[in-house]
Amino acid sequence: MNHFLDIHKTDPAELKAILSQAATMKSARNGAPKATPDSEQPLANHMVALIFEKPSTRTRVSFDVGVRQMGGETMVLSGADMQLGHGETIADTARVMSRYVDLIMIRTFDESVLTEMAEHATVPVINGLTDRSHPCQIMADLMTYEEHRGAIQGRKVVWSGDGNNVCASWLHAAAQMGFDFTFTGPVQLDPEMEFVGLARQAGVQVTIERDPMRAVDGADLVITDTWVSMHDAQSARERRHNMLRPYQVNRDLMAKAKPDALFMHCLPAHREEEVTSEVMDGPHSVVWDEAENRLHAQKAVMRWCVGA
Ligand code: CP
Ligand code: NVA
């Protein structure tokens, strides 16, 4: 079963094939109006469930549009409105959903919900973000990097800020795609050491550097994300802001990276917090391409999942 649960759980050759198919499908659309069906309809007669236990703009819309362009049908479900939120086990939900739909995408809190869903579903399951990872985002980001700058292998990627779920999927990608990864942020918000170890074991250089200016020296790509994720307690907001302020991506920080370095953010961004508008809207930024590529990358992920 081709579940898409995490970048490090998918073979590097398959990741590359998915990225290549995404690029081909993007160029084949050639900017057609959004509701124009793709010339190939690999999801014809397929029903796709999109389950959200957390808010979403990009994931919700890009999956829904992507399925429709490929000829499939979607249902967008809120976890709270399903029996899932009222005591039915994840395993039983997975068994039942598998009788109605051909593919399940779920955004949830605890990773165990995703893994239990995948274990008991008889259709493929896609991770649409958990507290611990966000692989679909990083597929779009890898596609975006390579579209602008060619192969990411051997490049220096720097994450500045909270070592969160998006940062984790970047570490997974470093292991699979072979690029160097530097984390800069406060010690309290380091990425999970299990994932740092995984990337190092794969033979890539992972550096933890507390000084953001030193960290971005010679970077090909600088990335950040919100200082307070959806799974973080709002009560921790002020403390997190105080810890993370030195890691804001601004003009001075970008000036330390390579002159042609790219800037990425998965969005939603909090302007003038983790990133200044000057950088978000400036020449290094590819954030809108990243957002667009969620659509193309996920279409290729879905094709891989259903083998179509
Ligand atoms: N980047 C991302 O996953 O955005 P949404 O939360 O809007 O889906
Ligand atoms: N780290 C963020 C990513 C949102 C797409 C969160 O989990 O809220």
175-202 core/surface letters (b: 16 or more CB in 10 A; e: else): bbbbbbbbbbbbeebebbeebbebbeeb
204, 182 contact by CB (below 8 A): no
- Please identify which of the residues 46, 225, 248, 303 carries the catalytic annotation: 225
Supply the residue whose CA is at minimum distance from atom 7 of ligand 1. Answer: 57
Q: What is the ipTM of this complex?
A: 0.99
Give catalytic status of residue 38 as yes or no. no
Question: How do strand 180-184 and strand 221-224 relate by DSSP bridges?
Answer: unpaired
Give catalytic status of residue 134 as yes or no. yes
Of the ligands numbered here, which is closest to the C-alpha atom of 290? 1
The residue among 231, 258, 280 whose CA lies nearest residue 110 is 231
Give catalytic status of residue 107 as yes or no. yes
Supply the residue whose CA is at minimum distance from atom 4 of ligand 1. Answer: 58
Q: What domains sit in the chain, N to C, each tagged with a CATH number?
A: 7-133+293-306 (3.40.50.1370), 135-290 (3.40.50.1370)
1, 302 contact by CB (below 8 A): no
- Strand segments (E) across the chain: 47-52, 73-78, 103-107, 125-127, 156-160, 180-184, 206-208, 221-224, 262-265
Return per-residue pLDDT of the chain as tens, 308 residues. 999 999 999 999 999 999 999 999 999 999 999 999 999 999 999 999 999 999 999 999 999 999 999 999 999 999 888 888 688 999 999 999 999 999 999 999 999 999 999 999 999 999 999 999 999 999 999 999 999 999 999 999 999 999 999 999 999 999 999 999 999 999 999 999 999 999 999 999 999 999 999 999 999 999 999 999 999 999 999 999 999 999 999 999 999 999 999 999 999 999 999 999 999 999 999 999 999 999 999 999 999 999 99
228, 266 contact by CB (below 8 A): no
Place of tokens 């042609």: 260
The residue among 3, 26, 62 whose CA lies nearest residue 305 is 3
Of the ligands numbered here, which is closest to the C-alpha atom of 226? 2
